[in-house]
Structure 1
């Protein structure tokens, strides 16, 4: 479900492991999946919401009804996760649907609700205050900001946020003053957003303090894969802030055990992805959110030897996953590969100079790195030119936005 870089990464994983071509269904087609030999994309207007989604999936299901092979549904965006889980009882009559029920999705997909559950399981997260539309209507000047500036501000409802447009809109905001806070909150609600906002104590430090964890939990609610990534650089473009563009593999058994306990306790199923940041003030990793899908940059997992496609196949098709032990990724530094989502030059110019960058440069020098979209077995001139151009555009993005959105952190 979808057509972005996440979709291409999963299609590539299936192709590398099983030699099969994937079919993607989406409302529009994005550049990462264009001109590809490993994934076919079919688009349907309005497919990213009901009734367009279920109407088209009802027709699509008929194609697969009499096939001898099982087809696995993989949702590659928050909205698609919500739609697939909402219609799970219908979809699983035809497809393998490795997702939790809609009731649990509703508890986890909202950042606000996730923090409440995190508190129940002693999972650390940034100090948080919830702002409602009613708070704004009572006067933005009356909203208390209990943390020192800068502060972090982001929407609780990521799906609704996709539909909100205004000058200065960002995926998340780092706000430096009270005047800026009042202005941004007003713009958000005046332009149609209705859900809550999350105001948080800003955890100091550059992008290299982030971590991203991808997991797979089997149908028996046992964690089978955990692979931790250490982002060194994020996209500074307003609409894409928080999207990782350089990731080192990392091993941390304490983090693995903490998250494994949580996932098994709530009876999770399927892929998930956690974003967290190291807080040097109390030496803990603070969780930002759980994504109920593999991460956008999750191909770094497959790149490092843990093919994401094989887990649902072994779970639901061959039935061999149940008896396998949990894989705690990245224990052997000799196997580490650097994942990049930008040109090498951009990484070298903008990533913070530290020991982690030094390690990344060593991997680059040793040719131990890779990307999601540049795949030798899917080469043609049209595709290569498009992906090369998409990478080239990052030069301008970083030049325009890095200092404003990522400087002085």
Structure 2
């Protein structure tokens, strides 16, 4: 889906993206749409959908903090103020860019909150307290300081099943060990004990959050994306109903298919939480509707626009236009609401329909499938090899879901053996 803004709207601007995955490509596509300029992308090993793009110039840069900052400073040498913008889509990189804002400005626009806000609100324990003050519900939880893990496991006074995950995403991004997962689904005390042993063995010293597991399938999840201007105004709101999440260990919880739709109640609650801490820049919040009472439960806020940022463009608003107007033009502009209904999907339609159990959602998907949006499938891309690689990747989701999230189709009365 194309932005309504003409290409070449911002001649002389240097858009820079850090990262080499699907989320990084989505940022590059949105920046290219908004500015008409080629995008410089910094990553050690970007995916082929990026390296074969017609408008992305790849520079292979190490993933460590100093290498990234030095590369940005080199690219900015001799450039006038506010002539470049830098985006990234991991908590760790958001923290890096926020910490080095003083070195990067005034050449770069840096659309991230302050390091203090990131440290506070993006700590899941602090996030829960801020939500409580704003009347926003979060899961019951216990915070464990892993620097104090000893021979005896910590006591968790919550009923099973549970969810366990790092309290600070940036700290988790910085550690690597066999069997590492994004989140851990804990069904028994022995599984929880095994997790503590794994964290001890890895030498992980930050905090871990153990939460009650809110029941419900993937399609109970909601995604909310906002942009808060330099003056504290929420100038962009968008949201989507998740249909299907990735279930592979390292990617679990990442949506791979969504239907965009306005969710004003969640927009308002999210805005209150961000305002309470003086948030600025992009934010993405994960919410789940508890099937027991139909009430939303807020899980976390990501200090960035999110891996699936392109669902905002699909719903009618290129978020880069909103950000650039604020940081480069000094104008918050009118509030933009992404309200169009669109199917956003990284997986084949047959897989999505196979995984969905709700008949109403299946009908919506069937109705929207002909104009479904995949951020990787930009019409301006001309490489045949690139398109073949993307097609193969989409089909590989069949294998991933068969391995990590199989769903058996129960025979209907008509097909059941007599």
**Match status 1:388 vs 2:397:** no
**Match status 1:302 vs 2:317:** no
Q: 2:3: which partner in 1?
A: none
Q: How many residues align?
A: 390
C-alpha displacement of 1:221: 1.0
Q: 1:399: which partner in 2?
A: 402
Q: 1:244: which partner in 2?
A: 255
C-alpha displacement of 1:115: 2.0
In structure 2, C-alpha distance between the alignment counterparts of 1:157 and 1:217, rounded to whole Å: 22
C-alpha displacement of 1:127: 0.4
What does the per-residue CA deviation read over 1:245-291, in whole Å, with 9 as the maximum and x for residues that have no partner?
Answer: 10011222221112122223322211110001111223321111111
2:70 aligns with one of 46, 55, 74: 55
Q: Any conservation in 2 of the 1:208–1:352 contact (CA below 8 Å)?
A: no
C-alpha displacement of 1:304: 1.4
1:352 aligns with one of 349, 353, 357: 357
Q: 1:340: which partner in 2?
A: 345
In structure 1, C-alpha distance between the alignment counterparts of 2:34 and 2:147, rounded to whole Å: 51
In structure 1, C-alpha distance between the alignment counterparts of 2:299 and 2:391, rounded to whole Å: 32
**Match status 1:44 vs 2:61:** yes
Q: 5+ unaligned residues in a row in structure 1: which ranges? A: 405-409
Residues 130 and 69 of structure 1: CA distance in aligned 2, closer, same or farther (over 3 Å) = closer
In structure 2, C-alpha distance between the alignment counterparts of 1:279 and 1:87, rounded to whole Å: 39
C-alpha displacement of 1:53: 2.8
Q: 2:8: which partner in 1?
A: none
TM-score (norm 1): 0.90
In structure 2, C-alpha distance between the alignment counterparts of 1:108 and 1:272, rounded to whole Å: 11
**Match status 1:29 vs 2:34:** no
Q: Any conservation in 2 of the 1:340–1:369 contact (CA below 8 Å)?
A: yes
**Match status 1:18 vs 2:35:** yes
Answer with 372-381 or 255-264: which moved more: 255-264
C-alpha displacement of 1:135: 5.2
Residues 72 and 252 of structure 1: CA distance in aligned 2, closer, same or farther (over 3 Å) = same
Q: 1:328: which partner in 2?
A: 337
In structure 2, C-alpha distance between the alignment counterparts of 1:133 and 1:13, rounded to whole Å: 39
C-alpha displacement of 1:33: 1.5
1:374 aligns with one of 354, 363, 377: 377
- Give secondary structure in 2 for the equivalent of 1:112: helix
Q: Any conservation in 1 of the 2:44–2:60 contact (CA below 8 Å)?
A: yes
